[in-house]
Structure 1
Amino acid sequence: MGVIGTNAVLIRAVGAIVVFFVARFLYRGYVQRSRVRALKAQGIPVLPHSLLFGHLSVLGDWRADNPSDANFYTFHTWLIKNCKRYFPDLDFPPPVVYLDIWPIDVSFAIVFDPITASQFAQAPSLPKMSLVREFLDPFTAGRDMVSSEGKEWKTWRSRFSHGFSQRNLLAMLPELIEEVSIFVSQLGELAGTGGEWGPVFQLEEKTTNLTFDIICRATLGMRLNEQLRAESSPLKFALLDQIRVMNHGTNAARALPLGRMPWHKAAARRNNNMLRDFMMPQIQSKLKSTSNDSQVKTILDLAIRYIDKDDPNGSRETPNAEYIETLIANLKIFGHDTTASTVCFMLKRMQDHPDCLAKVRAEHDAVLGPDPDKVVDVLAQSPHLLYSLPYTLSVIKETLRLHPLAATLRESTPGFSLTAPGSSMRYPTDGWGLWVVRSRCLATPRLLAAADEFIPGAMDGARGRHHAPALIELRIISVLVARRFDIEEAWDKWDALQGSKVNPNDRINGERLYAAGNGIVHPKDGMPVHVVLA
């Protein structure tokens, strides 16, 4: 066979491969579109659907109505607000809303009803969606307990659960208060006096540094001092850059999402090496230590306590490399980002609701004494008082309802369907990613008439469990900050500093502060604020 013949064979082979992938691509699209037609045939309410574009036009409507940096989590609240636009006969979206956004790889069955959500998030608990693993893959390579299932998930969860017990958290309280006290001191340096507001600054930058310090202390038992550094530590640099890389994965908010490029993968390897180099000395030190007398048990302490049981091919003296990599992966997921954002939104909610702030301050006066400067001493003598602030806890939980830390994403299994209270309708799930954002799931009019209003205590009985480290951090911040400072958004000052870099018309529901970012939620522009002594 000559050169021409060889080239012809090669061209035909390449052409066949291209045809195969194009055909498979189009077939998947046909199957996905057909699923929606089948839903309509069963009488299930669906969003206006196009055989060619699916629900991409609905996604386009959301994008057109919102700032370009709006987080996809805002889609749920936007759909509730625009319910009549797409479901003219309904005042609230159906229990399950299907969103067909092919050619994006995943299409969603968005669940708005909590009873319906419990059918796949509690019993039975369906497998986690591949999107979660893909998002975390550059960070943990699938070794972490968020990505894992079954026995592996149970094992690592049980190793860490004791660290979040009330007893262990109270033992850790002096260290946590020490870190929050630095945060309070920095707010004091920026606060105006005599009724005058201080300079504008980005609150999220301060809360991020604080949560880095707290997480490092709680997981590794070491001082990071991120709040006192002039430049970011290698740990902070690597973690923030890794989140940037992770956000380059699948993003349902983009009509034509681009995956991670080779340079993103190279950055992920570099960041993981930096994180490993930072953690390994502390891990090695803990492995060599024979003392177990400390009352405070860090995440690392709890993990290596069971190393002989969890690492059958190694021991405390010579741990298996695979075990070490899994340990590092699980240490990395105790991240800072969500908690830092929640602190911002909690302080915003108290700013926007002075009556709630007044109740918080009154509760702190009654339980912790009238002098805010003595709170640290009071808690040192009676740390249990931190758990005797029911209204403060309600404020925290209401913040988490309206600004949730995470969503639940699950894979369906063949033949699995959902039902809703008061209806015989069955909602098929084959081929759909099940998605429930807890704030919206708890916002059905059946449960709370004013679902989008901030009403501490109104939903306490209906809420699920929250991340324990976040709760104690938020409690400490509230008791050390609420009575000392008034904190207010300062957009006019921020706009003056940024000039043409900002668009004052970027708003959601009239608010300049909204959930922004491609992946993990961040407050818009880091929440510019100014502070005055209360």
Structure 2
Amino acid sequence: MAKLVMSLPENIHPHTFIHYLKQTYDLPDVFYVDTWPVGDQICAVVNPELAQYVTVQHSLPKHPALERTLNHITGFKSLVGLEGQEHKRWRAVFNPGFSTAHLMTLVSGIVDDCTVFRDILVKHAEKGDRFLLEEAATGVTIDVIGRAVLRSDASMNAQTSENEFVEAFRSQLTWLPKSGDMNPFRIFNPVRPFIFLYNEYRMNRYLTKVVSNRLQTRHDLENGNEEKKKRGKPILDLALDEYRAEEGKGSTKNLDAGFLKGVMPHIKVFMFAGHDTTSSTICYAAKAISENPEVLQKFRAECDEVFGPNIEQTAQKIKDDPRIINRLTYTVAVIKETLRLFPAASSVRLGQPGYMLQHEGRQYPTDTFMTWPVAHALHHSPKFWPEAESFIPERWLVKEGDPLFPIKGAYRPFEWGPRNCIGQELAMIESRVALVLMLRDLTIEVAYDEGKDVKKSGGLPRTTPEGERAYQILIATAKPAEGMPVRMKRG
């Protein structure tokens, strides 16, 4: 481990260690890593069939480490950490809001937020300045998830103004303990608990007001006998409908504090997961498109075919016919290939007594281990992916039987099974809209360490062995190093 650590950037995401351990020492598809005293004992799974076994056929419960991190954001157990009937209950409450059919009714608002994002990028292109793309992408994804979950008729304006919830939320993420940090002054920072409490108070105050106002609005509409439509409703509204049906309560006025208290952790985890992962995907996809001329050419050719050559009409055409984005097959392939090379997260499960993984004639116990199907390691494995380190969108367009055709279960950015990501369709819709509005006439140029030595930092390399400077770091989820500084360019 020490030798491997010295060959990689200091703050690189822990999931890359599993990949490089396996490749460097030719380890089997299941192996153990003891990270004491930094972290938990790990049973690493880098095999499609075994990953399916752990998450689908015999789904293991989520590992407590995940909830320990999320509790700083949600305050209580959320959909991510709940198990058994409680998880099924709340998943059923939120499923209608995250259905493809319903999300299509929200596309017009998503376009509005992505148009603001584009305008901001155009200004950067005109100034020619250096800025953090991840920060700009975070603003638009917060606006989108806020509109989708809380208020479909209004934006949170995270891109253009200050917002109490956004400020507290991002502060909370900044203060999360860093994985693998062994500095006791940072691990046991006495200020951190007070910051967490203050930020939690601010987030709860904001959300309580928004949710309460929404409930009152729903009650007023019902009393006025106005037509009840599901089109364009925020996910919160559909969750309320499902909750009322389950509880047998016919009016929002009859709701007790149970809904308000129960829904709060889930809203916060949606806000977290919905913006955190998608913002990174937008950054890496924009980088890949801009740096690969053939990909850029095919991407723009598809946009011209679907929307016509007039770039200024793109946003309105999507708003007039949201399903037009379903024709962006090459753009979807670009996003999938981005998520293969740069998955934002993966599922960590808690091994159980007597739960064995069978592989190549050997049994691997899981009891007490963090049983981890490591998406990053699996996505980069040359055993399962031809030209694993190359950006090849075409592997998502070829027919079965082609050497590039993905192996079943080898692609897991959103996981599989009953605990898969509930917001994956929203992420794909948002990514398509953002990239189309962003890159039809703009490109980015990464701008790390301008004028500085880019090879070493404190004796450690500044790039991965493959030469990637925008490697992933861990801040709750995987993000591009240093926020991916770029310059925006016309053309």
Same-fold call, TM cutoff 0.5: yes
The answer as to whether partners of 2:375 and 2:413 remain within 8 angstroms in 1 is no
Task: Specify the code of the residue in structure 2 equivalent to 1:519.
Answer: A
| 1:458-477 equivalent positions in 2, closer than 5 A | 458=395, 461=406, 462=408, 463-464=411-412, 466=414, 467-477=424-434
Residue 389 in 1 paired to residue 328 in 2?
yes
Quick one: which of 405, 410, 414 aligns to 2:344? 405
Establish whether residue 279 from structure 1 lines up as the match of residue 204 from structure 2.
no
Task: Give the Cα–Cα distance (whole angstroms) in 1 for the partners of residues 112 and 14 of structure 2.
Answer: 36
Alignment of 1:240-251 (within 5 A): 240-247=170-177, 251=179
**Shift of residue 504 of structure 1?**
11
Aligned-pair CA distance for 1:481: 1.6
- Asked if structure 2 preserves the Cα contact closer than 8 Å seen for 1:220 and 1:299, the reply is yes
1:173 maps to: 107
Residues 128 and 410 in structure 1, CA contact (< 8 A), matched pair in contact too? yes
| 2:369 aligns with one of 428, 432, 437 | 432
Higher mean alpha-carbon deviation, 439-448 vs 215-224, is at 439-448
Contact in 2 for aligned 1:410/1:435 (Cα 8 Å): yes
Summarize the Cα distance change of 1:102–1:492 in structure 2 as closer, same or farther, 3 Å threshold: closer
CA offset at residue 312 of structure 1? 8.0
Asked if 2 retains the 8 angstrom alpha-carbon contact of 1:139 and 1:242, the reply is yes
Give the letter aligned to residue 507 of structure 1.
T
Match of 1:506 in 2: 462
- Describe the SS at the equivalent of 1:73: helix
C-alpha contact (below 8 Å) 1:104/1:255 kept by paired residues: no
Q: Residues 183-206 of structure 1: CA distance to partner in whole angstroms, max 9, x if unpaired?
A: 1111111114xxxx8121111111
1:47-446 → structure 2 map (5 Å cutoff) = 58=1, 60-83=2-25, 90=26, 93-104=27-38, 106-192=40-126, 198-221=128-151, 222-229=154-161, 232-247=162-177, 251-252=179-180, 254=182, 263-288=191-216, 289-290=218-219, 291=221, 292-309=228-245, 316-317=252-253, 319-334=255-270, 335=272, 336-420=275-359, 423-446=360-383
Q: Matched residues in 2 for 1:264 and 1:257: separation?
A: 11
Q: Which amino acid aligns with 1:208?
A: T
Name the SS for the 1:488 alignment partner: strand
1:158 to partner: Cα distance: 1.8
Contact 2:307 2:317 in 1 (8 A): yes
Match of residue 516 from structure 1? 473
Q: Please list the CA deviations of residues 347-387 of structure 1 after superposition, one character each: whole Å capped at 9, or x if unmatched.
A: 11112222111111111111221221111222233221101
Is 1:190–1:199's contact at 8 Å kept on the other side of the alignment?
yes
Q: Which has the higher contact order (CA 8 A, sep 6+)?
A: 2
CA displacement at 1:492 relative to structure 2:
5.2
Name the aligned partner's letter for residue 376 of structure 1. A
What is the aligned length?
456
Larger Rg: 1
Q: 1:494 to 1:81 in 2, by over 3 A?
A: farther
Q: What is the rounded CA distance, in whole Å, between the counterparts of 1:319 and 1:260 in structure 2?
A: 41
CA separation of 1:374 and 1:159: change in aligned 2, threshold 3 A: same
1:71–1:519 contact (8 Å) kept in structure 2:
no
* Cα 1:465–1:70 shift into 2, 3 Å: closer
Separation (CA, whole Å) in 2 of partners of 1:82 and 1:481: 39
Q: Percent of counterpart pairs with the same letter?
A: 29
**2:167 counterpart SS class:** helix
Label 1:75 to 1:391 Cα distance change in 2 as closer, same or farther (>3 A).
Answer: same
How far did residue 445 of structure 1 move? 3.1
Contact 2:12-2:471 at 8 Å conserved across structures: yes
Per mean C-alpha deviation after superposition, the further-off stretch among 456-465 and 296-305 is: 456-465
CA contact (8 A) 1:213 1:226 kept: yes
Pick closer, same or farther for the CA change 1:184–1:502 going to 2, 3 Å.
farther
Assess if the C-alpha contact under 8 Å between 2:98 and 2:235 holds in 1. no
Report Cα offsets for 1:303-324 as digits up to 9, x if no partner. 2113335558997325443432
Could you say which residue in structure 2 is the equivalent of 1:450?
387
- Helix, strand or coil for the counterpart of 1:358? helix
Give the letter aligned to residue 98 of structure 2: F
8 Å Cα contact 2:6/2:460 also seen in 1: no
Structure 1 residue 263, shift from structure 2 partner? 3.1
Q: 1:412 to 1:313 in 2, by over 3 A?
A: farther
Shift of 1:262: 5.0
Shift of 1:439: 3.3
Distance 1:159 1:322, change over 3 A: closer
Task: Give 1:283 shift.
Answer: 1.0
SS in structure 1 of the partner of residue 489 of structure 2: strand
Q: Secondary structure at the match of 1:122?
A: helix
Closer, same or farther in 2 for the Cα pair 1:353/1:410, shift >3 Å? same
Change (3 A) 1:181 1:504: farther
Q: Distance in 1 between matches of 2:469 and 2:477?
A: 18
Moved more, 386-395 or 347-356: 347-356
Q: 1:165 to 1:273 in 2, by over 3 A?
A: same
Note the alpha carbon deviations across 1:15-73, whole angstroms, 9 max, x for none.
xxxxxxxxxxxxxxxxxxxxxxxxxxxxxxxxxxxxxxxxxxx1x33322222221212
Question: Which segments of 5 or more consecutive residues in structure 1 lack a partner in the other structure?
Answer: 1-57, 84-89
TM-score (norm 1): 0.79
Q: 1:22 — aligned with what?
A: none
Q: Could you tell me the TM-score, scaled by structure 2's length? A: 0.86
Alpha-carbon offset, residue 330 of structure 1: 0.3
The separation in 1 between residues aligned to 2:388 and 2:167, in whole angstroms, is: 38
